[in-house]
């Protein structure tokens, strides 16, 4: 990677890291307050409505955003054609969502879900007006402005949700906060990168976007099935309360992969696009990012697994056991989050090569596993069984990705193993040490959680440093001082 691009990428990761740390603090505080003020049924209603709306959201984009970002040349005609396509699709998705919302009650046992779906559908229209500035900021790698916009979205959502929850608005707190934050996000994008709204429809350009985006759309649709069929079936089979427990476990367990995606992966894709003709630079950049991802992902996982019971009781439950039914599911989904933080960087590399079909195949593999196994797991097993199915299904995608990494970038399975091995060994060592010294308890609820987390992090960092002889820490230091 050239020095200028390397510095830009490091700087962008830095912006994203600062932004996401701030966002994470606000999200954590908000989630804690909501988990104390809302019940499992409230989470179930919003969770099911979100599945319904997000399914139709896939049709409002059709992969056009990624197609425009990946395009080598994006002039005004191309950009406005992409915007016109996006707006047409968004209006269509909005109308279908409004008209079909009543069908949700045929599957879900709470009529309140209809109004929630219809209100959340408004976001499909609002997001369209942030399409052009978002694409242009992404292509120019201006992640400082994107990070500010993301922070504004999170902070506004958190403030509205907390204020409404404390005022007793239950699940509406999440719904209204979602819409308000989308408005703020779109407004800030347009302030940072003003774009003239202009309608254009060049058939040749539109055909290219639909062809390229179509593969991504199908892949995204299958990915949606992979990431939501568990929630959908639990809601349909077990009802709002059971879905609420699963939602809490999934939100916190998958926090790792979401955090990694927000910090690193958003930067990786446009960066890989810039160097897509230099395979060796792409390879080295990918392996380095994989090493960092594995270090961060496994460290967060091991801490949350170790303190999960106290976390559910003292942090989310306010000293009660209301969320304890989610305990084992949370531990399983922590491992899922860790695995996903390692697999997700592959997406950026493969899309930068213009090979969306590979991701489609990987998602099909995961979807087959889930479609076959999730229903019997929910019907005859438990939410823990569903979590295990989700973990296995997502991990199965490695069988598709490994051969493609070697084919596209000459990245061998051994190189990948060497990149992530120190993190996995440190993870196992930390779990083992914690289990061995588990009889040592820090009394005091939240104080105990903080102290235990610090102890686990110190143990993990020590183990990782011993295994790698401090190489990663030296690399981080060199990056920070600009070497």
In the block, tokens 């019940």 appear at 39
Spatial contact of 373 and 379, defined as CB atoms under 8 Å apart: no
Spatial contact of 86 and 128, defined as CB atoms under 8 Å apart: yes
pLDDT of residue 8: 55
pTM for the predicted model, two decimal places: 0.70
In 315-445, where does DSSP find H-type helix? 327-343, 345-352, 356-380, 383-395, 398-409, 413-436
Spatial contact of 260 and 341, defined as CB atoms under 8 Å apart: yes
Domain chopping of the chain, boundaries = 254-354+397-483
In the block, tokens 């915007």 appear at 83
pLDDT of residue 259: 65
Per-residue HEC secondary structure of 286-329 comes to HHHHHHHHHHHHHHHHHHHHHHHHHHHHHHHCCCCCCCHHHHHH
Q: Which long-range contacts (CB under 8 A, 24 or more apart) does 470-477 make?
A: 472/291, 472/292, 472/295, 472/422, 475/288
Write out the chain's pLDDT in tens, 483 residues.
444 545 555 555 555 566 666 777 777 788 888 888 888 788 888 888 888 888 777 777 777 777 777 666 777 788 888 888 888 888 888 998 898 888 888 777 778 888 999 999 898 889 888 888 888 887 777 777 877 888 888 889 889 999 999 998 888 999 999 999 999 999 999 998 888 888 877 787 777 777 766 666 776 677 777 777 888 888 888 777 888 899 889 888 887 666 665 555 555 555 665 665 667 877 887 888 788 888 888 888 888 888 888 888 888 888 888 899 999 999 999 999 888 888 877 877 777 777 777 887 888 888 888 888 988 998 887 899 999 999 998 899 898 888 888 887 888 889 889 988 999 999 999 988 887 776 455 555 777 788 888 888 898 998 988 888 877 666 655 544 444
pLDDT of residue 11: 55
Spatial contact of 330 and 308, defined as CB atoms under 8 Å apart: yes
3-state SS, residue 482: coil
- CA distance linking residue 257 with residue 336, whole number of Å: 9
pLDDT of residue 260: 62
pLDDT of residue 256: 65
């Amino acid at each position: 990677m050239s020095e200028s691009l390397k510095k830009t990428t490091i700087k962008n990761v830095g912006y994203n890291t600062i932004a996401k740390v701030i966002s994470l603090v606000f999200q954590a505080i908000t989630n804690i307050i909501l988990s104390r003020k809302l019940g499992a049924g409230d989470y179930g209603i919003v969770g099911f409505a979100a599945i319904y709306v997000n399914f139709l959201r896939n049709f409002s984009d059709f992969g056009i955003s990624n197609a425009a970002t990946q395009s080598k040349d994006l002039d005004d005609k191309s950009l406005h054609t992409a915007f016109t396509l996006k707006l047409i699709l968004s209006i269509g998705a909005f109308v279908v969502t409004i008209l079909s919302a009543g069908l949700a009650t045929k599957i879900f046992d709470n009529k309140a879900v209809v109004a929630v779906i219809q209100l959340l559908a408004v976001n499909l229209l609002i997001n369209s007006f942030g399409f052009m500035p978002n694409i242009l900021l992404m292509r120019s790698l201006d992640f400082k402005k994107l990070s500010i916009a993301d922070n504004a979205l999170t902070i506004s959502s958190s403030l509205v949700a907390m204020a409404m929850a404390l005022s007793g608005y239950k699940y509406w707190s999440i719904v209204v906060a979602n819409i308000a934050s989308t408005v703020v996000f779109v407004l800030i994008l347009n302030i940072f990168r003003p774009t003239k709204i202009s309608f254009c429809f060049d058939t040749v350009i539109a055909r290219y976007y639909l062809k390229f985006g179509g593969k991504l759309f199908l892949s995204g649709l299958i990915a949606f099935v992979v990431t939501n069929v568990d929630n959908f079936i639990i809601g349909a089979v077990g009802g709002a309360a059971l879905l609420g427990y699963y939602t809490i476990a999934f939100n916190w367990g998958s926090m790792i992969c979401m955090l990694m995606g927000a910090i690193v992966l958003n930067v990786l894709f446009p960066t890989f696009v810039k160097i897509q003709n230099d395979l060796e630079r792409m390879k080295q950049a990918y392996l380095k990012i994989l090493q960092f991802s594995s270090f961060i992902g496994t460290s967060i996982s091991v801490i949350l697994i170790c303190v999960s019971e106290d976390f559910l009781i003292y942090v989310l439950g306010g000293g009660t056991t209301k969320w304890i039914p989610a305990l084992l599911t949370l531990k399983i989904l922590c491992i899922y989050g860790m695995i996903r933080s390692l697999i997700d960087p592959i997406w950026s590399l493969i899309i930068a090569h213009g090979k969306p079909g590979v991701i489609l195949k990987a998602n099909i593999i995961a979807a087959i596993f889930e479609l076959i196994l999730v229903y019997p797991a929910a019907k005859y097993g438990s939410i823990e069984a569903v979590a295990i199915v989700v973990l296995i299904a997502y991990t199965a995608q490695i069988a598709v990705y490994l051969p493609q990494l070697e084919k596209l970038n000459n990245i061998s399975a051994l190189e990948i193993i060497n990149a992530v091995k120190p993190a996995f060994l440190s993870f196992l060592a930390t779990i083992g040490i914690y289990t061995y010294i588990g009889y040592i308890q820090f009394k005091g609820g939240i104080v105990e959680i903080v102290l235990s987390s610090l102890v686990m992090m110190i143990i993990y960092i020590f183990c990782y440093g011993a295994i790698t002889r401090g190489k990663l820490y030296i690399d981080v230091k060199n990056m920070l001082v600009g070497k």
